[in-house]
Structure 1
Amino acid sequence: MTTISSGQNSSNKTQEWVSEGKNGIITLIGSENYALWSRSMILGLKGKRKLGFVDSRHTTDKFDESLHEQWEKVNAVVLSWIMRSVIKELLGSIIYASNAHKVWLDLKERFDKVNGSRVLYLHREIVTLN
């Protein structure tokens, strides 16, 4: 059975790395910086052992019912980290969400856009190298 760690102890504050404007935290502003923001968030979540809450490895159905309250607590912390890392204009669409994984997928769907003309340009550049 999987266990959940809240990531809090007396010497390490759970939300330390999320401080707005500190520690190099990147704020999601839209498609133009989604890849950078996503990578930054993934690294932070890995460091806190919480990546499973956004990549669907830690869904409530994978935990014993006795752990659901603790799951809700950790999920809320991850949601707060996501909410603190987006611009205020994006908050309205995620503020009432209750599942970090669903918010992550929503942001990915909305902002993870590949610039088709840039891809074509890079392919042409690669071909001309030969």
Structure 2
Amino acid sequence: MTTNANDPKPLHPVYSVANIQNKIRTLDGVKVTYSSWVKLFKLHARGYGVLNHIDGSTPPVKTDATYESWSKIDAIVLQWIYGSLSDELMARVLDTDTRAQQAWNRIQDIFLNNKSSRATALEHRFINLTLTSCSSMDKYQQKIKDLAD
């Protein structure tokens, strides 16, 4: 098969996502934990070929011929990030003239910078959780799993 120089380049897979909320649940830190959200987001980013926008890869320089295309895709990944955050988290992360990687890092800082105090609080909740405080064994087990996650 020969390719014609006039044939348009195929559309990047990222453009096929109409609504990220159908694919990635909203990160709120309660129902959806940070670690679960990261795993799911990275899975989709890898699948749609945009993991390099959040993994610390160096973006092309503005004079590079691919920069314009990269910048548009980065804006879509940034929309994915903002679109999968709770209103409270989005207010803390939302910024003008930012890239997806910068927003990703801000979210990481929110959840991991206070890791030791958060771990202490979770350990306290775990130790003090009793079966009698839950309506059933299933609810008790789910609370334990949620705290562990």
Q: TM-score range by the shorter chain?
A: 0.5 to 0.7
Letter in 2 for 1:69: E
Q: State the structure with more CA Rg.
A: 2
Q: Does 1:66 align with 2:68?
A: no
Distance 1:46 1:58 in 2: 17
Superposition RMSD in Å: 2.7
Aligned partners of 1:53 and 1:75 also within 8 Å: yes
Distance 1:17 1:46 in 2: 17
Distance 1:42 1:17 in 2: 16
The residue number in structure 1 matching 2:25 is: 26
Number of equivalenced pairs: 108
Aligned partners of 1:27 and 1:87 also within 8 Å: yes
Q: Does 1:107 align with 2:113?
A: no
The residue number in structure 2 matching 1:125 is: none
Cα offset, 1:67, TM superposition: 1.1
Unaligned runs of 5+ in 1: 122-130
Letter in 2 for 1:111: F
Task: For residue 33 of structure 2, give the secondary structure of its aligned residue in structure 1.
Answer: helix
The structure-2 alpha-carbon separation of the partners of 1:98 and 1:89, relative to structure 1 and needing over 3 Å to count, comes to same
The residue number in structure 2 matching 1:7 is: 13
**Which segments of structure 1 move beyond 6 Å, counting only runs of 4 or more?**
none
TM-score by length of 1: 0.68
Distance 1:51 1:43 in 2: 9
The structure-2 alpha-carbon separation of the partners of 1:47 and 1:81, relative to structure 1 and needing over 3 Å to count, comes to same
The structure-2 alpha-carbon separation of the partners of 1:110 and 1:15, relative to structure 1 and needing over 3 Å to count, comes to same
